[in-house]
Amino acid sequence: MVGALPAPSYPRPYALGEALRKKKSNVEALLNRYVSELVDAQKKASLDAITDGRLLWDNVVEGSASLLTGWQKGDLTRFFDNNYFYRRPIKSQLKPLSLEPELKLMPWPNRLFTVLGPFSFSKLSSGEPAVDWDYARAISTVLSGYEGWLAIQEPSLLEGGFPDDLKAALQLFPSSAKKLLMVYFRPFSPVYDKLLDLPVDGLWLDCLADPSWKVTLKERGQKRITALGLIDARNTRLENPDDVLRAASSINATGEVYVAPNWGFDILPYPVSKQKTRVLGAVKRRSEVS
């Protein structure tokens, strides 16, 4: 059977964005409304994990940094090749904050939380192709004891320069979490063997960016959990659930397999993100009866 995971983040609805920009008094009410709306949509789709959508985060870079003190916002920078930008974090001395305020928005046991990994944080903040150990220690302290799904986003791993010490850095992340290393925007096949060797429970792979993904997974094996990024988070076109299920079922899975977006839904229109959530649910339902 094929399961289904939501996007690790969802687009911020316009009304909430305006309320935040104008610092209106109804921000909390709007946030609760839209989180409840997203949770209901995911539950109706019977997804295997539930996220609050990270609606207060502008992006995963600044969002991850917001879990820490000891940094300030720098230059406006393009996030890979998207029409989507973030303020580059300039760190001084990173120190962990409490995760409790974040978890209050996600009191359910099958929650999905996400952070940027320590290599991509370094590349996307300072430009250095190395593990940021200050960030790794601080963010792992924030996450200490966290229970639930944890998507560790490491898109920069696919740009070259796979660091030898990433394995040691990821070992700092909590063993209590169901950890998925998430890579996207480029083919993962060239570094797939190295990804398999990392101390995580599974891999979240952008299959849409890698024409060889089926061959790679069939011939080189899989981890205990594989999330197949087959729902396009950068295109408003809605996928055919039968086509997605056919692709997901073609790899002769040796462990748990989930269909998922290939990235966060951040740049999609909010209504489209909910439609794609329903597509994910339709894939799972078809899998249950096939």
For the record, the structure tokens of 39 come out as 């949770």
φ/ψ (deg, to 5) at 21 = -65, -40
Q: What is the average pLDDT across 195-200? A: 97
Residue 202 pLDDT greater than 80, yes or no: yes
Dump pLDDT digits (tens) for 178-197: 999 999 999 999 999 999 99
> Which band of pLDDT confidence, cut at 50, 70 and 90, is reported for residue 169?
very high
Dump pLDDT digits (tens) for 110-125: 999 999 999 999 999 9
Dump pLDDT digits (tens) for 227-252: 999 999 999 999 999 999 999 999 98
Dump pLDDT digits (tens) for 137-151: 999 999 999 999 999
User: Does 3 or 161 have the greater pLDDT score?
Assistant: 3
> Which band of pLDDT confidence, cut at 50, 70 and 90, is reported for residue 105?
confident
For the record, the structure tokens of 268 come out as 């999609």
Instruction: Give the chain's domain count.
Output: 1
Residue 95, domain CATH: 3.20.20.210
What's the pLDDT at 252?
A: 82
- Over the chain, what is the mean pLDDT? 96
User: Which residue range forms the structural domain that includes residue 80?
Assistant: 2-289
> Which band of pLDDT confidence, cut at 50, 70 and 90, is reported for residue 254?
confident
What's the pLDDT at 234?
A: 97
What's the pLDDT at 160?
A: 83
d(CA 112, CA 97): 19
Q: Which residues pair with 86 in a beta bridge?
A: 77
Residue 223 pLDDT greater than 90, yes or no: no
d(CA 90, CA 70): 9
Is residue 29 a contact partner of residue 58, using CB atoms and an 8 Å limit?
A: no
Residue 10 pLDDT greater than 80, yes or no: yes
Cα separations in angstroms, 127 against 77, 88, 91, 97, 131: 11, 10, 13, 24, 11
φ/ψ (deg, to 5) at 183 = -125, 150
Q: Residue 202 gets which letter from DSSP? A: E
Dump pLDDT digits (tens) for 12-54: 999 999 999 999 999 999 999 999 999 999 999 999 999 999 9
d(CA 6, CA 231): 10
d(CA 172, CA 168): 7
The SS3 call for residue 154 is coil
Is residue 265 a contact partner of residue 9, using CB atoms and an 8 Å limit?
A: yes
| % of the chain with per-residue pLDDT over 90 | 95
Per DSSP bridges, beta strands 256-261 and 225-231 are parallel
The SS3 call for residue 181 is strand
What's the pLDDT at 261?
A: 98
- Find tokens 């898109």 and name the residue: 155
d(CA 109, CA 89): 31
What's the pLDDT at 75?
A: 96
What is the CA angle 88-94-96, rounded to 5?
115
What's the pLDDT at 161?
A: 81
Q: CB-based contacts of 236: which residues, under 8 Å, 6+ apart?
A: 268, 269, 272
Amino acid at 287: S
d(CA 51, CA 11): 12
Q: Strands, E, within 48-166: which ranges?
A: 68-78, 85-96, 112-116, 148-153
d(CA 89, CA 75): 8
